[in-house]
Amino acid sequence: MTSLEVLLAALGWCTLMNLGMLTVTTLLLVVWGEAIGRLHQRWFRLEKRELQREYFRYLANYKLLLLVFNLVPYLALRLAMR
Protein backbone atom coordinates (compact mmCIF):
# COMPACT_ATOMS: atom_id res chain seq x y z
CA MET A 1 0.00 0.00 0.00
CA THR A 2 1.32 3.42 -0.89
CA SER A 3 1.19 6.30 1.55
CA LEU A 4 -1.59 7.96 -0.49
CA GLU A 5 -3.69 4.82 -0.26
CA VAL A 6 -3.12 4.72 3.49
CA LEU A 7 -4.13 8.38 3.77
CA LEU A 8 -7.22 7.73 1.65
CA ALA A 9 -8.22 4.79 3.84
CA ALA A 10 -7.63 6.80 7.03
CA LEU A 11 -9.72 9.72 5.76
CA GLY A 12 -12.48 7.33 4.73
CA TRP A 13 -12.60 5.69 8.16
CA CYS A 14 -12.42 9.06 9.93
CA THR A 15 -15.32 10.28 7.82
CA LEU A 16 -17.42 7.22 8.65
CA MET A 17 -16.65 7.37 12.37
CA ASN A 18 -17.38 11.09 12.61
CA LEU A 19 -20.56 10.70 10.57
CA GLY A 20 -21.61 7.93 12.96
CA MET A 21 -20.88 10.15 15.96
CA LEU A 22 -22.88 13.01 14.44
CA THR A 23 -25.79 10.67 13.74
CA VAL A 24 -25.77 9.18 17.25
CA THR A 25 -25.57 12.62 18.87
CA THR A 26 -28.42 13.92 16.73
CA LEU A 27 -30.58 10.88 17.53
CA LEU A 28 -29.85 11.20 21.25
CA LEU A 29 -30.92 14.84 21.21
CA VAL A 30 -34.07 14.06 19.23
CA VAL A 31 -35.15 11.02 21.27
CA TRP A 32 -33.99 11.99 24.77
CA GLY A 33 -33.72 15.75 24.30
CA GLU A 34 -35.85 16.66 27.31
CA ALA A 35 -33.93 14.50 29.79
CA ILE A 36 -30.55 15.52 28.40
CA GLY A 37 -31.69 19.14 28.33
CA ARG A 38 -32.68 19.12 32.01
CA LEU A 39 -29.31 17.68 32.94
CA HIS A 40 -27.39 20.23 30.87
CA GLN A 41 -29.56 23.08 32.15
CA ARG A 42 -28.48 22.20 35.69
CA TRP A 43 -24.82 21.82 34.74
CA PHE A 44 -24.44 24.95 32.63
CA ARG A 45 -27.22 27.13 34.10
CA LEU A 46 -28.74 27.91 30.71
CA GLU A 47 -32.34 28.60 29.80
CA LYS A 48 -34.07 26.00 27.65
CA ARG A 49 -34.04 28.28 24.59
CA GLU A 50 -30.32 29.05 24.99
CA LEU A 51 -29.53 25.38 25.43
CA GLN A 52 -31.41 24.42 22.27
CA ARG A 53 -29.47 27.11 20.40
CA GLU A 54 -26.20 25.67 21.74
CA TYR A 55 -27.20 22.15 20.68
CA PHE A 56 -27.97 23.41 17.18
CA ARG A 57 -24.68 25.35 17.06
CA TYR A 58 -22.75 22.26 18.21
CA LEU A 59 -24.35 20.01 15.57
CA ALA A 60 -23.85 22.61 12.82
CA ASN A 61 -20.19 23.15 13.72
CA TYR A 62 -19.55 19.40 13.96
CA LYS A 63 -21.09 18.84 10.54
CA LEU A 64 -19.10 21.71 9.01
CA LEU A 65 -15.83 20.42 10.47
CA LEU A 66 -16.67 16.90 9.29
CA LEU A 67 -17.17 18.16 5.76
CA VAL A 68 -14.10 20.42 5.70
CA PHE A 69 -11.56 18.13 7.37
CA ASN A 70 -12.78 14.63 6.49
CA LEU A 71 -15.18 14.33 3.57
CA VAL A 72 -13.82 16.98 1.19
CA PRO A 73 -10.17 15.85 1.51
CA TYR A 74 -11.30 12.24 1.06
CA LEU A 75 -13.25 13.07 -2.11
CA ALA A 76 -10.46 15.28 -3.48
CA LEU A 77 -7.86 12.57 -2.93
CA ARG A 78 -10.17 9.94 -4.39
CA LEU A 79 -10.65 12.06 -7.54
CA ALA A 80 -6.92 12.82 -7.79
CA MET A 81 -6.02 9.11 -7.67
CA ARG A 82 -8.23 8.23 -10.68
Structure confidence at residue 2 as a pLDDT band (50, 70, 90): confident
Is 30 exposed, middle or buried, given 0-12, 13-18 or 19+ CB atoms closer than 10 A? Answer: exposed
Q: Within 10 Å of residue 35's Cβ, how many Cβ atoms?
A: 10
Q: What pTM was estimated for this model as a whole?
A: 0.90
Tens of pLDDT, residue by residue over 19-73, are 999 999 999 999 999 999 999 999 999 999 999 999 999 999 999 999 999 999 9
